[in-house]
Structure 1
Amino acid sequence: MEKTDVIRNNTKMKHPPGLYLLFFTEMWERFSYYGMRSLLILYLTTSFVQGGLGFSVSTGAMIYGLYTGFTYFTPIIGGFLADRFLGQKLAIVVGGAIMVVGNLVLFGIPGHIGLFLGLALLIIGNGFFKPNISTVVGQLYPEGDKRKDSAFTIFYMGINVGSLIAPIICGLLAENIFAEKVNGAIVQYGFKYGFLAAAIGMILGQIIFVIFSPKYLGHIENKKVEKKEKVVEKKPLTKQEKRRTISIFILAAFVIFFWAGFEQAGSSLTMFAEKLTNRNVLGMTIPVSWLQSLNPVFVLILSPIFAKIWFKLANREKGDLKVPVKMAIGMIVLGIGFLVMVFATISVGNTENPVAKASMWWLVITYFFNTTGELCLSPIGLSMVTKIAPAKLASLLMGIWLASTGVANILGGFIASNLESFGAKDIFLMISIVCIVLGGVLLLLSNKISKMME
C-alpha cells in the first residue's frame, strides 16, 4: 500500500469536525431542556408567595406530564416540515430560536399566561430541533460508513453532559443563589433565574451552530423532498414484514409502562426529594433538582460497561440475549428500583406527618436501578426498530416508537397526579408491581416475539 493510501485511510477513520459542532449544539439544547424540566414541577406546586404558581400536586403533575409527553409528538410534524419545506439545518435554527423565546417567556412573564405560552413555544421549538439535528449527524457519513455507530455514541454523550450540568446550575440559581432564606428556610425561590440560565444555554448553542455551520456543515445539503415523480412501492408487506411490524407494536405497548415509571424522576420522585428527603450534607442543603443529575452521571459511568457486556454476549457461542429478554430485564430492574422507594417511604413513617426524613441514599439507589433498566431497554429498542422495520415503514414505525414515550409521559403525569390521593408508598408499590409483572410476562413471551422479529 502506498503512503498516500495509508494517510487517506487514517483520515477516513477520524470523525469530521461537524460532529463535534453538533455535539455542542445538542449539549446546550439538552442543558436548556433538562434545566427547565428540573425546576418545572417545583415551580408549578410551590406557593405563589414563594415564587411558584401554587398549583396542587395533582394539577402540577398533569401539566408536567402533558408538557413532556407532547415534546415526543411534535418532532413528527417538525420532521415532516423540514423534509418538505425548510430543510434540516434551517429547521434546527428555527426550532432553537423558538425555544429561546419560550424560556425567556418563562423568565419574563410571571403567572399562568407566561407558563402556558412558554411551554407551548418549547414544545413547538423542540419539534423542529430534535428530529433534524439527529438527521444531520447521519448525513455527515456516507451510507455504510462504519464510523456512524461511533458518531451517534459521541453525540449521545452530548445529550448526557447537557442533562448532567443543567440541573446543577439551574437548581443552584433557583434554590440557593437567588432564593431568599430566613433561618435556613426558603421564603422565596428564584425559579425565573433558572429559566433564564436555560435560555442562555440555548442561545449559546444557537450562536455556536450559526457561526460554525457554514464552515463545518457547508457540504451537507439542506435536504428537502424534491417535487419529482417518485416510484412508490405498491407491493403489499410480506408475511415476515407484517410479523416484524406487529412485534414492534407489541414491544412499544410494554415500553409505555417502563417510561411511565422512569419519567417519575421529574414529578413524584422530585416531590419526594423536596418534602420527605434529608438533603443536608456538611451543613449545605442539596437543591432538589441536583438529584436529577444522578441519571446522566450513571449513564456516563455505566454505558461503556454495558457496551462491553453486550459485545461479549453477542460473541459467545450461545449467541446474544434476545431483544425482548433484554427489555424484560430492563422493566424488572426498574420495578426493583421503585421497590426501593417503597422502603424509603416506610422509613419516613406517615408521609403527611413524617417522623423523620428519608436518607438521600434511597433516591441514589433508585436512580441507579432506573438507569440500569434504561440501558437495558432504550438503546436496544431504537436499534431494534432500525433493524427490523420494513423499509417503506421505517420512518413511520420509528415515529410510533418515539410517540409511545410521549404516551408514557402523559400516563406518568396522571400517575403522579394521584400522589396526594393514594400516597407515595402506594404509588411506588403500584409502579414496582406493574413493571415487574409486565417484565415477567415479556420474558414468557420472548421466544414467540423473537420468532416474529426474525
Structure 2
Amino acid sequence: MQTATKLNQAGAPKASKKKHPPGLYLLFFTEMWERFSYYGMRGLLIYYLTYEFINGGLGYSQAVASSIYGFFTGAVYFTPLVGGWLTDRFIGKRLAITIGGITMALGNFVLFAQQSKTALFIGLGLLIIGNGFFKPNISTLVGELYDEKDERRDAAFTIFYMGINLGALIAPLICGFLAEDLFKTTTNGVEHFAYNYGFLAAAIGMVIGQILFNALGNRYLGDLGKKPNVQQVKQNKKTAINEPLTKQEKHRTWAIVIITCFVVFFWAGFEQAGSSMALYTDQFIDKTIFGWEIPSSWFASVNPLFIILLAPLVSMLWVRLSKSKRGDWPVPIKMGLGMVLLGLGFIVLVFAVMQTGSDPKHIAVKANLMFIVVTYLFHTLGELFLSPIGLSMVSRIAPVKLASLLMGVWLASSGIANIVAGQLAALTSSLGYFEIFSAIGGLAIFFGLILILLTKPLNRMMKL
C-alpha cells in the first residue's frame, strides 16, 4: 500500500525539516533557463542594434540604440505589475509561467527568423509581455513551497538566487560564442556576426525550461499555483483592508518611498553595463589574451560570476556583524555603501577613458581589460550591498494592506532607472564617455553619502 504524499498548507509536497522540497530545484532550473534566455538575448542586443546591416546588425545610431535598449529593459519591470494582477484574479501561477515562457520563446524566435526593424519590435514586444506573466509568479511559488514559519525560507531564496545568476553567467558565453565566433563569416574582409543564432539559443533555453517545468510540475509541485489567489488575498486582507494606516505604518511607508528614490540612481548607473559600458568595452578595451580576442558579449557574464563568488562572503559578513557587540549595520548604511561602491567602479572606468578618449575613430591606445573587470567587481559588491537588502526591507516593514503595492513600486523603480539609464547612455555619443561616466560615478557617491547621513531619521521611521 502506497503512503500518501504529505502536502504543506499551499498544496505542495513536503520535504523533511533538514532538506528542501524537491519543487525548489525544479523552480531553480526553470528560472535558470529563463534567465539564460533573457541575458543571452540582452547580452547581444546593443551590438545587434548598433552594428551595420552588412555586419549582421540593424544600423541604429548609438543614441537611438541606447534609447531602445533602455526602454526594453525598463518595460520588463513594469509589465509584471499587470501580470501579477491578472494572476491574482484570473489564472493560476503555473499557467501564467507557461504563458510567459512560451511568449518569450516566440519573441526570440521572431528575432532569429528575420533581421529587420519590424521583427525587432515584434520580438521585443513579445519578450516584454511574456516577462510580465513569468517574473512575478515564479519567485512567489518558491515562497509558497514553505509554511509561513519555516526556517528554511531564507536559505531557499539564496539557492534560487544562485539559479538566476547561473543562467546569467552561462548565457552570454554560449549565445555570444554562437553569434560572434562559431557562425561569424567574413566576406571580402567584412565581418558578419550571426546574432540570429544567439537569439535562437536564447529561445531554445526557454523551451528547455518550459518542458522541464510542465513535465515535472505535478510530481514536484502538487497543486501549488494551479488556482488564482483572489480568494486567499481577500481573506488575508479582510480584517485590515478597511482600517486606516497607523502612525508607524505611515512612517514605514514613507521610509520605503524615500529609499526607493535613492535606488533609482543606483540602477540607472548599474544598468549602463548593457549599453554604454558594453559599447565602450567593444570599442575601447583590449580584449586580446594570448592572441585570441574575447567576444564582447562575454563580458556580460562577469557580473553574475562575481555574484556567485562573492554572495557567500557578503552573507558571512552580515552574519558576523549581527553577532558582534556593535550589531549589524543599519539598512541605510548598507545601501548607501552600495551606491558608493557603484560610484567607485565608474571612477575606475574614468581612468581608462583618460587613456583612450571617447572617439572610436581616433583611439590612441586601447585600455587594459582589467579596467572593466575591476569596474564590474565594484558594481557587483554594490549590488550585493543594496539589492537583496532592499527586497528584505520592503517585505519586512511594508504595511500588510500595502505590501503588494509597495513591492510593485520597488520593482517599478528599476523600470524607471532602466529608461533613465538608456537616456544617459545615449548622451555618450554627444557628450563623451568621460563626462557621462564621471557624472554617474560622482552622483552615485554623493547620493550614497546622503543616504548614509539619513540613517538615524530613516531608522526612526522604520523602527528597526
1:428 corresponds to: 437
2:6 corresponds to: none
- Check whether the contact 1:276–1:351 (CA below 8 A) recurs between aligned residues: no
Mapped pair 1:188 → 2:197: no
Map residues 235-254 of structure 1 onto 2, 5 A cutoff: 235-254=243-262
Mapped pair 1:330 → 2:334: no
Equivalent residue in structure 2 for 1:110, among 103, 111, 115: 115
Q: CA RMSD in A?
A: 1.5
Mapped pair 1:201 → 2:205: yes
- Check whether the contact 1:345–1:351 (CA below 8 A) recurs between aligned residues: no
Map residues 31-430 of structure 1 onto 2, 5 A cutoff: 31-181=36-186, 187-226=191-230, 230=235, 231=238, 233-349=241-357, 351-352=359-360, 353-430=362-439
Q: Matched residue of 2:306: which SS?
A: helix
Note the C-alpha offset of 1:350: 5.6
- Check whether the contact 1:179–1:186 (CA below 8 A) recurs between aligned residues: no
Q: Matched residue of 1:13: which SS?
A: coil
Q: Matched residue of 2:90: which SS?
A: helix
Note the C-alpha offset of 1:223: 3.0
1:3 corresponds to: none
- Check whether the contact 1:35–1:166 (CA below 8 A) recurs between aligned residues: yes
For 1:178 and 1:74, the matched residues in 2 are separated by 34
1:6 corresponds to: none
Return 223-232 or 115-124, whichever deviates more.
223-232
The residue type paired with residue 380 of structure 1 is I
For 2:105 and 2:190, the matched residues in 1 are separated by 29
Equivalent residue in structure 2 for 1:22, among 27, 31, 51: 27
Distance 1:211 1:186, change over 3 A: farther
- Unmatched runs of 5 consecutive residues or more in structure 2: 1-13
Note the C-alpha offset of 1:225: 3.5
- Check whether the contact 1:341–1:362 (CA below 8 A) recurs between aligned residues: yes
Note the C-alpha offset of 1:227: 5.7
- Check whether the contact 1:50–1:189 (CA below 8 A) recurs between aligned residues: yes
Distance 1:221 1:195, change over 3 A: closer
For 1:182 and 1:367, the matched residues in 2 are separated by 35
Distance 1:410 1:350, change over 3 A: closer
For 1:314 and 1:398, the matched residues in 2 are separated by 26
- Check whether the contact 1:324–1:449 (CA below 8 A) recurs between aligned residues: yes
Offset from partner CA, 1:335-369 (integer Å, 9 cap, x none): 00000010011121463401111111000000000
The residue type paired with residue 422 of structure 2 is G
Q: Matched residue of 1:224: which SS?
A: coil
2:450 corresponds to: 441
Offset from partner CA, 1:388-426 (integer Å, 9 cap, x none): 100111111001001100100000000001111010111
Distance 1:226 1:416, change over 3 A: closer
TM-score, length of structure 1 as denominator length: 0.96
- Check whether the contact 2:358–2:433 (CA below 8 A) recurs between aligned residues: no
The residue type paired with residue 317 of structure 1 is K
- Check whether the contact 1:26–1:205 (CA below 8 A) recurs between aligned residues: yes
Note the C-alpha offset of 1:315: 1.6
Offset from partner CA, 1:218-273 (integer Å, 9 cap, x none): 24242314569752521110111101000100000000000000000000010001
Q: Matched residue of 1:145: which SS?
A: coil
For 2:334 and 2:342, the matched residues in 1 are separated by 13
Identity in percent: 54
Offset from partner CA, 1:283-315 (integer Å, 9 cap, x none): 111000101100001000100000010011112
For 2:186 and 2:344, the matched residues in 1 are separated by 37
Distance 1:346 1:21, change over 3 A: same
The residue type paired with residue 27 of structure 1 is M
Note the C-alpha offset of 1:187: 1.3
- Check whether the contact 2:141–2:225 (CA below 8 A) recurs between aligned residues: no
Offset from partner CA, 1:94-115 (integer Å, 9 cap, x none): 1000001000000002211100
Q: Matched residue of 2:191: which SS?
A: strand
The residue type paired with residue 148 of structure 1 is R
Q: Matched residue of 2:16: which SS?
A: helix
The residue type paired with residue 17 of structure 2 is K
TM-score, length of structure 2 as denominator length: 0.94
Distance 1:303 1:135, change over 3 A: same
For 2:209 and 2:15, the matched residues in 1 are separated by 30
For 2:448 and 2:221, the matched residues in 1 are separated by 43
Distance 1:212 1:431, change over 3 A: same
Q: Matched residue of 1:321: which SS?
A: coil
Distance 1:201 1:445, change over 3 A: same
The residue type paired with residue 367 of structure 2 is A
